Amino acid sequence: MTDLPTMPALDDDHFRQPDLSALFPAERRTDPPKILLLYGSLRERSFSRFAAEEAARILQRLGAETRIFNPSGLPLPDDATADHPKVADLRDLVRWCDGMVWSTPERHGSMTGIMKAQIDWIPLSLGAVRPTQGKTLAVMQVCGGSQSFNAVNQLRLLGRWMRCLTIPNQSSIPKAFQQFDEDGRMKPSSFYDRIVDVMEELVKFTLLTRDIREHLTDRYSERKETGEKLIARVNATSGA
């Protein structure tokens, strides 16, 4: 049997085993889970918006509180400052929520620029707060033609980059123009049933994880880095 190579020693000051009391708290929040929904089209008949609105109705039936962000008027990333009213509104909503739904059309084989711009305006950190870290995420796309998964796969990559807990299930609606009536309501179908599945799963994952989000995302490398920075500051102030 080949011996394993010698590994660097762990820093015991920052290395710790999982805390079961933190993973399974005796008390849990009882307020409704807060879900933010983003969509990626500004068309009057925006099927990604219709899908998000349908998802919001389902979430409300499941006991969640929902808010939908209207991206109209949101500037391009870096084309305005963070105090722009639409940017500030988006960031406030991200801080407010326990989880998110991202719903985008697939355009030229990918998510729309409108969808990406919203995500690009959400920073990984706001001061000492990581607004998306550990929050749940469900991804959906609408297609003009046959069913595709290009956009939801991209959204999953972004969700991981934003340190979200992206749920396993997802929704992709082919020929979306056939799936919604004149009032923007989704017709009964297996595609509607899939959105119900996804929203039900999102609520379950949100309720399971929102009380332990800080514990789930607590990292050895970050604790170690923070400790090293603290020591450096102490040494600098003491003249050591």
Domains of the chain: 30-238 (3.40.50.360)
- Per-residue pLDDT at 1 exceeds 70: no
What is the predicted pLDDT for the residue at 219? 79
Q: For the chain, report the end-to-end CA distance as a whole number of angstroms.
A: 48
Residue labelled with tokens 């879900």: 35
**Residue 186: pLDDT band with limits 50, 70, 90:** very high
Q: Running DSSP on this structure, what letter comes out for residue 179?
A: T
What is the predicted pLDDT for the residue at 7? 61
Quote the tokens at residue 229. Answer: 């920075």
- Per-residue pLDDT averaged across 27-53, rounded? 96
- Per-residue pLDDT averaged across 159-171, rounded? 96
Distance CA 231, CA 237 (A): 10
Contact assessment for residue 69 and residue 100, using Cβ atoms and an 8 Å cutoff? no
- Per-residue pLDDT averaged across 84-110, rounded? 97
How many CA atoms are closer than 13 Å to the CA of 39, on its beta-carbon side? Answer: 22
- Per-residue pLDDT at 169 exceeds 70: yes
Kindly report the pTM of this predicted structure: 0.87
Q: Which of 4-13, 16-25, 102-111, 207-216 has the highest mean pLDDT?
A: 102-111
Strand ranges, E, within the chain = 34-39, 65-69, 99-105, 136-142, 165-166, 171-173
Q: What is the mean pLDDT of the chain?
A: 91
What is the predicted pLDDT for the residue at 27? 87
What is the predicted pLDDT for the residue at 240? 56
**Residue 63: pLDDT band with limits 50, 70, 90:** very high
**Residue 220: pLDDT band with limits 50, 70, 90:** confident
- Per-residue pLDDT at 20 exceeds 80: no
Q: What percent of the chain has pLDDT over 70?
A: 93
- Per-residue pLDDT averaged across 21-41, rounded? 91
